[in-house]
Structure 1
Amino acid sequence: MQETSTETTSGVTLIDQIRSRIISGELAPGELIPETALAEEFHVSRTPVREAFKVLQMEGLVHIRPRVGTYVHEPTRREIVEMFQIKESLEGLAASLLARRGAVPELEVLQRNIDESDAAAAAGDAARYAELVGEFHWTLVRGADNDKLTETYAWLMNQLAYDRLVNSTVADPKRLTASDREHHRVLEAIRDKDPYGAEMAMRDHVHASSRAALHRIFGDAGPRPAPGDPATGTTTDHTEEK
């Protein structure tokens, strides 16, 4: 039996496997992660499983309770709000940087993504649309051509378990349609080489997404509406009441 390595026979590490299950929602927030079952599944001792848990705890994905077990971290409302605030800033910056770059390959990838997203939205295919959402956001971030931004964004997306949140929010047809329109506005500003407009469009999109996510999780209205939110006509700022 493999005693110390956290790499599985397929070359994928235990850390990657467990992280993926948490982010996808296969392991739900608050769920006890079965240490012995994982060791048996991947044909390793419990030692590498525990080492993987330590790494994932540093990433904020699990919480180790001595003599009790390891649980998937269940973020508080405040934590989710704060992570979305950072996401809003990072993606707003990414959109602004991409708008400054001119005609780069990422623009055509984004356009194809939006074309496919339109089709998924028209068909009411929430699962496919959720996949395209992830592609859209990651293409935009990578298109900013800023390695430190990309690294920080990857860490944040893991903590936020964003794929799970997207699948939940776009299950609402109204949110799916609104999200699709928001993506159009972001790309239009980027193509117009309007850094400020692109940043504001992206910030408003992420803010709207955060409101939808908080409503799905906690049943509240989420953060206050963004400036000029067409759904409310409000002119409040982005400040979150905590």
Structure 2
Amino acid sequence: MQESRSSRQSTVVDGIRRRIISGEMSSGTALSEVSLAQDFGVSRTPVREALKQLQAEGLVEVRPRVGTFVSTPTRTEIIELFQVKEVLEGAAARFLAARGEVAELDALRHNVARSDLALERDDVETYTELVAEFHDLIVLGAGNAKLRAHHTTLMNQLAYPRLISTSLSTPGRFAESENEHRRLLEVIESRDGASAERLMRNHVRASQEALVESMFADHDERPGSDA
């Protein structure tokens, strides 16, 4: 019975998390225990426990006497999360460069080739998927399980896939991003770990700046404010 209860809760946690990360549940969406219980065919108890776990992960916000909502990160939170992303992915790029010819490097070549075609066709939707894959391949290719685990938690907190298209909406960012990916691939192939880390950190920082510009274009607060 205990295993069955645990399994139901895991299913609910994974399902709600997936909806939030994909953008199916957008920032600020109100979450109803009753509706979610009906969606997943469970009682309210596993839903309530799932929401507590997702709150701990930073994906859900509970407002006392108001309700439960999909978290809406502030400008400061986004910048801080991207600062950690920059450090982790910079290290991952260095580690991958040091490993030489591994399966992830070959997959990275295919990713960039497909990204080139997406750019030629102005296919932002396909490129958005390839961006997430590109970064995942570099982290996986680093061969460091602890780094991978921390990165996964971070990406969940950012709900990263739904942010990619927002950053790419900045004029010129699509082409810039693809050029940065190609250059990163070149230095990783050359096994230049120091340059790989530097370029990856610059790339993540440029993505963060484009994202903040797109998300907070109507605000005049300085970066780092909670507006």
Question: TM-score, normalization: structure 2?
Answer: 0.91
Unaligned runs of 5+ in 2: none
Instruction: Determine if contact 2:76/2:224 at 8 Å carries over to the other structure.
Output: no
* Residue 27 of structure 1: how far off its partner (Å): 1.3
1:92-126 deviation digits (Å, cap 9, x = unpaired): 00000111111111111000000000000110110
Correspondence 1:1-242 to 2 at 5 A: 5=5, 7=7, 13-172=11-170, 174-219=172-217
Q: Which has the higher contact order (CA 8 A, sep 6+)?
A: 2
Unaligned runs of 5+ in 1: 225-239
Q: Distance in 2 between matches of 1:199 and 1:48?
A: 42
> Identity, % of aligned pairs?
50
Q: Distance in 2 between matches of 1:200 and 1:110?
A: 18
Secondary structure in 1 aligned to 2:172? helix
Question: TM-score, normalization: structure 1?
Answer: 0.86
Secondary structure in 2 aligned to 1:5? helix
Q: Distance in 1 between matches of 2:147 and 2:48?
A: 30
Q: Distance in 2 between matches of 1:112 and 1:221?
A: 39
Cα distance change on mapping 1:129 and 1:15 into 2, 3 Å: same
* Residue 68 of structure 1: how far off its partner (Å): 2.7
* Residue 185 of structure 1: how far off its partner (Å): 1.0
Cα distance change on mapping 1:67 and 1:47 into 2, 3 Å: farther
Q: From the two aligned structures, give the one with the greater helix fraction.
A: 2
Q: Distance in 1 between matches of 2:46 and 2:12?
A: 8
Cα distance change on mapping 1:6 and 1:44 into 2, 3 Å: farther
Q: Distance in 2 between matches of 1:176 and 1:125?
A: 10
Instruction: Determine if contact 1:27/1:33 at 8 Å carries over to the other structure.
Output: no
Moved more, 112-121 or 63-72: 63-72
The one-letter amino acid paired with 2:178 is D
* Residue 26 of structure 1: how far off its partner (Å): 1.4
1:174-203 deviation digits (Å, cap 9, x = unpaired): 111110000011111111110110001101
